[in-house]
Structure 1
Amino acid sequence: MPDSLRPEDRATIASVLERHADNPSAFLALNRGNEYFTCEGLDGFVCYRVQGRRWIQFGGPFADASCRRELQTRFVEHAHGNRCKVIGAQLQRADAELFAGLGHTVNQVGASYAVGLPDFSLRGKRFVRLRNKISRALRAGLEITEVDPEKCADEIENINRQWLRDKGRHTKELAFLIGEIGGEWQSLRKLYVGRVDGTAIAYVSYAPVYGSRPGWLHDLSRRLPDSPPGVMEAINSQAIEDMRTSGAEWLHFGFTPFTGLDGAHELPAASPMAARVVRFVAEHGDRVYPAKSQLEYKSKWCPDAVLPEYFAFDGGLSPRSLWSVARATNIV
């Protein structure tokens, strides 16, 4: 459990991610409030949160390839021993195949997007509109700097408060599947803030990415409701230049539910009913989740890779399991 982990244990978990994680969002496993399952002699861990009789697992087992299946099997057995079921969230293809092999129902629920940085440039016709938006923000006086969040905590909190208020009084902060600012691991992240006339109006936080596409994850991003157009694009453009200069290979835009759906990505373990529900929400459910606006922003950068992501349900899909996911992520 997170609260009982000794400092050296948490350092081991961070080391496992660096050595074995291939999920672009893996760094989110270090969020406060997560719990961890480990087995003596197995080089890895499972990250999860308890939601009633459902244990919501983030990603697959973060472990050496030689013990991934054994670690996942033991975790599921441990859950069953506590009369609980496991739900896998934000699974990569290899994770989905592992869960399917253990008898879980597995469906594609969305995709993540990534841009290769070594040859990236905003030159050319396809980026004309993006360049124009960035220019508008800079002409409005936007200044962009990488900052220490401890030195601008009040400014960040002000942006968060106004951003959330603008979303409507029933809107809640999402949890579990998004990152955070501050805490024990902040020194490994990047935080960029945009200011106009000395006032902080927007920020973007980036988390490190390990594995086959190493680089950075475009994580939390917020702005004041009256910010000039192009502010977020300008901040991200500056961050990309800094990342390219430092030799980073990829910028990941993270998981977007209900996008990138393709029947060719589904596994034999998929539920046809779940696939129909996901596609229906993708077409008509913008009130449930603003997937279209998120995809529009990510598509502006012309991603080089679109990676399918999956959810897995121990014992099959059920309303109770869907409710548990919604509660764990604070959607409801």
Structure 2
Amino acid sequence: MRPHTPETGTKTPASGTAPGPADEAAALPLLTADRILTAIRTHTDADNPSAFLALNEEAEHFTSARADGVVVFRRCGGYAVQFGGPFAPRRDYRTLLHEFVRFADRSGLAPVAVQLQRHDAEIYADSGFTVNQIGASYAVGLAAFTLRGTRFMQLRNKIARARRAGLAVAETDAAACRAALREIDAAWLASKGAHARPLEFLVGRTGGRGQPYRRLFLGAIDGRPIGYISYSPVAGSRPGWMHDLSRRVPDGPPGVMEAVNSAAIDTFRAEGVRWLHFGFTPFTGLREEHEVPGHSQGLRWFLRHLEEHGEAVYPARTQLAYKRKWAPDVLLPEYAAFRGGASLAAFAHIFRAANAF
């Protein structure tokens, strides 16, 4: 299937006057999904398992005539919050990065990057950014994966409990169950409190131009949909799928998400899929040996404090506990980069860009 293709063209100033330097800096081409997909599939040096988030509709895409590739970012306050490093061939990577920084300067935006991989982190540090590890992503090799053994006993029990409650899981088309997904989303969000808001930009979604490339597994009891997991494609050295967006109704039985994911794993293994990724979780997997030269000791202390005591800020421990149930084989450190010195304001705008607050 082919993706929905957005309108092509260029963002232009609202007025009818000729654009000035600031307007030219703000004018970016609206790239088709095909072009974005080509960049994230072809230029895989960064090996970013979350690269498919580049198709999120709220993202902007910077390109340059001087270099091949795409930079993905979102404007937030006075910042250009960049997702991942440039998706570019090695020969053009630094050129595209420098062109993007110049674009940000002309636009009056301070560049800050998040979810950089180690390859990106080293180049950013060498380019004058302050780079710190801010979390990690996790992956499970599926070739030899099994739920047998004592370490998976509790997980098997939760899955069995959901199945005894009548849970049936099937892969389905998102367009065919759009109303059910909206109902699940609304119930899930309501359970998070009056001020909760859905995350965006740095998390997956259902629908939109990327949907034809995703896979959706839906759990239902007596025909009532009660939970789902959306999986996004992953290229690079660990190709497979990423456990991207998951939602469930609060009154469902325990083990719904575990049972849905187990069914998806069975399907993926039967197809010969090599890896299942669990995506990025901030404030987890922080280790001194993962830091790059020149990192901020102050920010490192702050992040370690959030790792220990930051559950009220972000439910990192809850997310990590779920991921650890599947005994990940690989921990991949992920980084944030700040032009010049690290600042709490820039760090906060990463989460503002994701609609976290």
TM-score interval (norm. to shorter): over 0.9
- Quote the residue 1:16 is aligned against: 39
1:8–1:61 Cα change, 3 Å = closer
1:7/1:291 CA distance change after superposition, 3 Å:
closer
1:217 to 227, 242, 248: 242
Rounded Cα–Cα distance in structure 2 between residues aligned with 1:318 and 1:258: 16
In structure 2, distance between residues paired with 1:247 and 1:23: 21
Give the whole-Å Cα distance in 2 for the aligned partners of 1:91 and 1:241. 31
Equivalent-residue separation in structure 1 for 2:346 and 2:355 (angstroms): 14
Q: Name the counterpart of 2:196.
A: 171
Alignment partner of 1:204 is 2:229? yes
Using the TM superposition, give the Cα deviation of residue 239 of structure 1 relative to its aligned residue in structure 2, in angstroms: 0.3
Match of 1:153 among 178, 193, 197: 178
Asked if 1:296 is matched to 2:317, the reply is no
TM-score, normalization: structure 2?
A: 0.90
1:135 corresponds, among 111, 135, 160, to 160
Gaps of 5+ in 2: 1-5, 10-28
Aligned length: 331
Letter in 1 for 2:217: Y
Larger mean CA deviation between 39-48 and 259-268 belongs to 39-48
* 1:251 match: 276
Contact 1:85 1:315 in 2 (8 A): no
For 2:123, what is the secondary structure of its paired residue? Answer: helix
Identify if the C-alpha distance between structure 1 residues 113 and 129 changes in structure 2 by more than 3 Å, giving closer, same or farther: same
Quick one: structure 1 residues 213 and 167, their matched pair in 2 at CA, closer, same or farther if it must change by over 3 Å? same
Asked whether the equivalents of residues 8 and 31 of structure 2 are also in contact (C-alpha less than 8 Å), the reply is: no
Any idea what SS the aligned residue of 1:13 has? helix
For residue 3 of structure 1, report the CA deviation from its aligned partner. 6.0
The answer to which of 201-210 and 306-315 deviates more is 306-315
CA distance in 2, matches of 1:93, 1:301: 24
Report 1:75-94 matches (<5 A): 75-94=100-119
CA positional deviation for 1:34: 0.8
Which residue identity is paired with 2:216?
L
Q: Return the alpha-carbon distance in structure 1 between the equivalents of residues 181 and 31 of structure 2.
A: 30
Question: For the aligned residues, what is the CA RMSD?
Answer: 1.4
Match among 244, 254, 257 for residue 229 of structure 1: 254
Q: Matched residues in 2 for 1:36 and 1:8: separation? A: 7
| Cα distance in 2 for residues equivalent to 1:294 and 1:124 | 23
Write the letter of the residue equivalent to 1:233.
E
Amino acid aligned to 2:180: E
Distance 1:7 1:291 in 2: 34
1:19-72 deviation per Cα after TM superposition (whole angstroms, max 9, x unaligned): 123200000010011111111252211000111221000000011112111111
What is the alpha-carbon distance in structure 2 between the residues aligned to residue 301 and residue 265 of structure 1?
A: 23
Instruction: Measure the CA separation in 2 of the matches of 1:67 and 1:197.
Output: 54
The answer to whether residue 343 in structure 2 is matched with residue 321 in structure 1 is: no
Give the 5 Å matches for 1:45-60. 45-60=70-85
Between the aligned partners of 1:62 and 1:195, the Cα distance in structure 2 is 38
Question: SS of 2:64's equivalent?
Answer: coil
Q: Distance in 2 between matches of 1:216 and 1:18?
A: 13
The sequence identity of aligned pairs, in percent, is 51
Shift in alpha-carbon separation, 1:312–1:8, aligned structure 2, 3 A: closer
Tell me by how many angstroms 1:322 deviates: 2.6
Q: Which whole-Å CA distance do the structure 2 matches of 1:185 and 1:77 have between them? A: 29
Report the Cα distance in structure 2 between the residues aligned to 1:325 and 1:154, rounded to whole angstroms: 31
Alpha-carbon displacement from aligned partner over 1:76-105 (angstroms, at most 9, x marks no partner): 122122232110011100111111111111
Paired residue for 1:189?
214
Q: 1:107 aligns with which of 100, 120, 132?
A: 132
Per mean C-alpha deviation after superposition, the further-off stretch among 77-86 and 168-177 is: 77-86
